[in-house]
Structure 1
Amino acid sequence: MDLESLNWKISAKAGEGVMSSAKLFAKACKKQGLAVFNYYEYPSLIKGGLQSGQVHAALRGATCQRRFLDLLIVFHEKFILDHLAELNERSLVVVNANAFDASKYPELKAKVIAINLTKIARDQGANPLSSNIAALGLSACLFGMDLETMGRVVIDEFARSKEAAVKDLAVLKTAFEITQQFIEKGELQSFGKLISTGVDEQLLMTGSEAIGLGALAAGLQFYSAYPMTPSTGILHYLAARQNDYPIVVKHAEDELGAINHAIGAAFAGVRAMTGSSGGGFALMVESLSFVGVAEVPLVVVEAVRQGPATGLPTWTSQGDLNFILSAGHGEFLRVVLTPGDVEEHYKLAKLAVELAEKYQLPVLIMSDKYILESHQSMPKMILSNQNARFSMLNDGKLGETGLVDGEYLRYKSSENGISLRSIPGQTNALQLTNSYEHDEYGFATEDAVTTKEAVDKRAAKLEALRKDLPKPLYLGSENPEKILISFGSTVNVLREVLLDEAAKNIALIHLPCVCPFPTLELEELVKNKKAELFVLEGDSTGQLAALIKKETSLTNLRSILRYDGRPFYSEDILEFLVSQKLNEQYRLI
């Protein structure tokens, strides 16, 4: 039987390597030409606790994790209790043990078999952690996957150690053969043969990696940050590429240092970015105001996790929306981009760098733990980019004279609010930049007329800026009974919802930018539609719904909220659409 999809999960203690095995299994599925989504859950512990990696792969869809599992591999029997809600009669559980007593779990619906994966690894002279490789061999057999393809994935991962790679290949093959023996004896049943398109044309990336790659594609040359989950992945990704690209990556002493390093780099003329999570971004907001008044181009990534304060450091949320929209004292123009899938993280990171320079303002990318740390397949992009410079004297180049005819006014008034920016070292183009309100030269002022002119000059950028912003995305029925509105990563779940027959009368609207708000575009999308409007967001107060009501004429909105650190599940949304019943972990207001 040909399989067009699978839902696979591996679960163990933190430090036992299951995140690596999940990534390898996701890569193997991608190499068979399937769409893939790999979702991680883990505690804020170095060792211990429950950690899992979950791979949903399909010929069509696979834009998010799914609830009910085909195969669950647990390294410790006790973790079965944590996954009961994900198991049904069609599920198979493999326990890393010599034996399993099913009578201890009367509520368990799935079939369970004990296979000692650790023993398989040790018998091949491998590290006990190679029990993860045994899990891959077992899985390849059960899903009818090509063992050679799985082997290439393992070799690619461990190419630096030939000895380890040889042992791991032996573990992989042995686990595959042992599983095949179980099937032949009738103790296990294969799920079928996973379809392979024979064409591997996609990339498998996390949202963090996509942001880093998109920024590099836009010519990013400086990134500074202090590690804070879930933004740290961007720092790691860019730091590992300093030898391949003309970029300096600075591990700052703290978040205040991080944003101020980036401001200095931007002032010097390079494209710069910083990033943090909510607690770190809270320390950056005074400098964000400076960016606003000084018209310094800067990209800031805010990687949201469940708050307030330390909150749930390794779990997801969208609860920082209002904070990001209003961060900083005083009024200044900003852009807030809210990318959804991994591909959009790449595209909007590239756009963010360009918008910041063109309009000389802060561009914030709001994302969250869920998509930043999940792997998702995406189309390959153009690998060669020619980046033009924007709104700069002589395109930011040094060494020429006569760049300015007469006096150089850094903050010269203009119809679109944009004044050409010089950088240190350009002849006859000296500028003064400080945190005071200023005149056209950059000198501090408290004059009433000059102050109004300066504020109006910065605000004048808005009209031109709107034309360059990403527009809301509409998918689904043209005559829907219900429209689901979301921003950020939630669109991944709603795309999966639309694949179900039960959603044939449903539409979704995804907002990739919430500031400046796309008022006219959103109103036009729902115009003349007699559908119920539901806003889905990962917070407890309905911040996006309140923003929509503030910025548009739409008032008849209901909110579906989740705020326990976990993402939405497509099955829960489908159940609500069909029966109006909502999972108890959600709230309808």
Structure 2
Amino acid sequence: MELTFRIGAEAGAGVMVTGRMLGRCFTRGSYNVLAYPEYPSLIRGGHNVFQIRISDDGVYSPSTRCDVLLALNRAALFYHRNAVNSNGVVVYDEKIDVSEFKLRNDIKKIPLPIDKILSDAGAPPQMANSVQIGAALAVINYPFDIFEGVLRDEFGRKGKEIVEKNALVGKIGYDFVKKYGILREIKPLSKKRKMLITGNEALALGAVKSGMKFFAAYPMTPASSILHYLCAKERDFNIIVKQTEDEIAAMNYVVGASFAGVRAATATSGGGFALMTEAVGLAAESETPVVIFLAQRVGPSTGMPTWTEQGDLRFALHSSQGEFLRVVLTPGDVNECFSLSAEAFNLAEKYQIPVLVLSDKFLSESLFSTDGFDENIKIERGKITRDLPPLQPNTRFKRYAITNDGVSPRALPGTPNGIHVSSSYEHNETGFSTELFSERKAQVDKRARKINGLIKDIPPPKVYGDKKAEVSLITWGSMKLPAMEGVHILNKEGINANMIHFSCVFPLDEKTVRSLFKNAKHTIIFENNSTGQFAGMLKEYCGCEPDFVALKYTGRPFYAEEIAEEVKQLKKKGFKGERVIRVLDKEDLEYYNTQRYGL
């Protein structure tokens, strides 16, 4: 069983709240849910849409189609009427004249008297969201009492009267729509609830579980909700959260907090990370462990700030001046967001380096169901020294001692006999600045030697599906999700496909990567950028070149249907043809300026 809803309205009409609450109704019935929001960079106006896909099997990707459209204004009908499946349903505000949109005859049309329902119930306009959710649930005859439970949890703090009034108007909307008949009967699978969580929330929870005690950031979409979530939970988690005056301050706060001995992190997007890069170099030179959550969006500059892209990989890899080791982790789903967020702090402290965790708008802000996370987190703090022998007169602790593994003992401020200097300058073993050529070379070589241990600790790429498949889809980061579903579509249609997913894109273990490519018959890498950044890295660091490079950089993620279609086209051609494939959405409409369409 699978069903897809779309809810469309202008910004400020409550689409996001409606979509989130509707999604929770289904996770409480033990369904798998993916809820994907799209919105322009506007506080009011423009067009917002929220897609909710539910399934009793896995659901990983947003869809180009929908079964039920909740159209709350004319724009929603204009943008989405052609996406409704045959025998689908359109529930629309009765004030809208639907005749101008020429809806197909195979679509059931249900005019919803939202204003009348609210007026008769003495309810304010803000409760229109509850009417809409009631209407959506009625289309599939889903038990209304589940929605009442969601309302109690969502609005209980506002008082019993608010909860009951929302339930009342929701039930009126539910009963009204049921008179038109149902699309299909959908009942809860069980009473077991699933969690519905964004990628950003999963990253935040993983950080807290790993022992993070300090978080500093300046808001920037799509990373902002990490800051918002941690602020709301600051006292519950017993952590310190600081919204700084800018990203420069945030990064320096984090370096300082980590130097003082607490696990610390920041979060930003590309423009904010551009301001952080000098302090990232400070962390590298002083060998201070830091974790940076970098949520990618369309660039360069302001770009399209509320849309998704994987364009900052090379930026993350080469940020700040000079050469230094770092780790770039790229979780592909919310479970990996949680686990890799926690592991980021272990890697940062064990090797005393910056660790970047890359997500993007799609993964950061979409909601995904999960049965829960593996909370068995092992915390490794590395070479923190405590019981140091007394220092000889006129000597200092060798904070940057030359070691075989490249990792020096780390004394936290206040550690007896651990006094040392730590700064942004090149230094000798005690931390004092030096321009002696031999000491410079020794410190650079020492820091670089960390790669020998690090390469054994990073998560390896994982193969999903038949290891002897005819075609292998190569992905990193959030591309895992639509590619996973794309593989499922291809296998159902008789094309034996698998997926090779990289949750760590730097450093790369050349031997492992070469082995994967050697065993793959036809390889296609899918990336949400215009230059195939990871494809280039695979060639540069491992000597491996995918047969084909499929790129999409419109601001939307790849859809599973698009991935499957590109693979099918290549198979028809005997896996021959142009190596670089550039994908454009079939629906080429702008949400930012609805006036251009007369809306």
Q: Same fold (TM over 0.5)?
A: yes
Distance 2:535 2:585 in 1: 16
Distance 1:481 1:547 in 2: 24
2:196 is paired with a residue of what secondary structure? strand
Q: Is the 8 A contact 2:297 2:361 kept in 1?
A: yes
Distance 2:75 2:193 in 1: 40
2:405 is matched with 416
Q: CA-to-partner distance for each residue in 1:210-243, whole Å, 9 max, x for gaps? A: 0100000000011101100001011011111111
Distance 1:474 1:60 in 2: 20
Quote how far apart the aligned CAs of 1:140 are.
1.3
Quote how far apart the aligned CAs of 1:535 are.
0.9
Matched, 1:240 2:232: yes
Distance 1:474 1:384 in 2: 24
Distance 1:153 1:191 in 2: 23
Matched, 1:541 2:539: no
1:126 is matched with 123
Give the CA RMSD over aligned residues: 2.0
Quote how far apart the aligned CAs of 1:481 are.
2.0
2:75 is matched with 78
Q: Is the 8 A contact 1:276 1:301 kept in 2?
A: yes
1:155 is matched with 152
Given the alignment, which residue of 199, 205, 210 partners 2:197?
205
Matched, 1:483 2:503: no
Length, aligned pairs only: 572
Alignment of 1:430-469 (within 5 A): 430-469=419-458
Distance 1:7 1:230 in 2: 24
Q: Is the 8 A contact 1:288 1:328 kept in 2?
A: yes
Q: Is the 8 A contact 1:12 1:52 kept in 2?
A: yes
Matched, 1:339 2:336: no
2:302 is paired with a residue of what secondary structure? coil
Q: Is the 8 A contact 2:325 2:447 kept in 1?
A: yes
Given the alignment, which residue of 150, 175, 188 partners 2:173?
175
Distance 2:516 2:151 in 1: 47
**CA distance 1:559–1:409, change in 2 (3 Å):** same
1:142 is matched with 139
Distance 2:374 2:467 in 1: 33
1:358 is matched with 350
1:575 is matched with 565
Distance 2:80 2:122 in 1: 32
**CA distance 1:385–1:572, change in 2 (3 Å):** closer
Alignment of 1:169-568 (within 5 A): 169-183=167-181, 190-382=182-374, 387-394=379-386, 402=389, 408-500=397-489, 501-502=492-493, 504-529=495-520, 531-568=521-558
Quote how far apart the aligned CAs of 1:175 are.
1.1
One-letter amino acid of the structure 2 residue matched with residue 526 of structure 1: F
Distance 2:103 2:50 in 1: 26
Give unmatched runs, 5+ long, in structure 1: 184-189, 395-399
Give unmatched runs, 5+ long, in structure 2: 573-580, 587-599
Q: CA-to-partner distance for each residue in 1:142-185, whole Å, 9 max, x for gaps? A: 112111111101111111122211100101111111112222xx
Q: CA-to-partner distance for each residue in 1:50-73, whole Å, 9 max, x for gaps? A: 011111111111112112101010
**CA distance 1:328–1:584, change in 2 (3 Å):** closer
One-letter amino acid of the structure 2 residue matched with residue 31 of structure 1: R
1:89 is paired with a residue of what secondary structure? strand
Given the alignment, which residue of 107, 112, 123 partners 1:110?
107
Q: CA-to-partner distance for each residue in 1:387-420, whole Å, 9 max, x for gaps? A: 45322013xxxxx775779952101111111111
State the TM-score, normalizing by the size of structure 2.
0.92
Distance 2:91 2:98 in 1: 13
Q: CA-to-partner distance for each residue in 1:164-208, whole Å, 9 max, x for gaps? A: 11100101111111112222xxxxxx1222242214253211010
Distance 1:373 1:441 in 2: 45
Q: Is the 8 A contact 1:126 1:164 kept in 2?
A: no
**CA distance 1:306–1:419, change in 2 (3 Å):** same
2:63 is matched with 66
One-letter amino acid of the structure 2 residue matched with residue 525 of structure 1: L
One-letter amino acid of the structure 2 residue matched with residue 86 of structure 1: A
Q: Is the 8 A contact 2:470 2:495 kept in 1?
A: no
**CA distance 1:147–1:458, change in 2 (3 Å):** same
Q: CA-to-partner distance for each residue in 1:314-353, whole Å, 9 max, x for gaps? A: 1100011111111110000000001110110011000001
2:577 is matched with none
Q: CA-to-partner distance for each residue in 1:368-398, whole Å, 9 max, x for gaps? A: 001100010123235576745322013xxxx
Distance 2:582 2:74 in 1: 27
Distance 1:118 1:420 in 2: 68
One-letter amino acid of the structure 2 residue matched with residue 170 of structure 1: L
Q: CA-to-partner distance for each residue in 1:28-63, whole Å, 9 max, x for gaps? A: 110111111110011111111101111111111111
Q: CA-to-partner distance for each residue in 1:448-491, whole Å, 9 max, x for gaps? A: 11111101111111111111111101112332222111111011
Quote how far apart the aligned CAs of 1:445 are.
0.6
Quote how far apart the aligned CAs of 1:79 are.
2.3
Q: Is the 8 A contact 1:497 1:503 kept in 2?
A: no
**CA distance 1:99–1:438, change in 2 (3 Å):** closer
Q: Is the 8 A contact 1:403 1:429 kept in 2?
A: no
Distance 2:378 2:390 in 1: 24
Distance 2:301 2:543 in 1: 34
Q: CA-to-partner distance for each residue in 1:220-272, whole Å, 9 max, x for gaps? A: 01110110000101101111111112211110000100000111101110000
Distance 2:535 2:299 in 1: 20
Identity of matched residues, %:
37
One-letter amino acid of the structure 2 residue matched with residue 559 of structure 1: V
**CA distance 1:55–1:429, change in 2 (3 Å):** same
**CA distance 1:507–1:450, change in 2 (3 Å):** same
Q: Is the 8 A contact 1:37 1:377 kept in 2?
A: yes
State the TM-score, normalizing by the size of structure 1.
0.93
Distance 2:323 2:388 in 1: 37
**CA distance 1:287–1:104, change in 2 (3 Å):** closer
Q: Is the 8 A contact 1:502 1:578 kept in 2?
A: no
Quote how far apart the aligned CAs of 1:85 are.
4.2
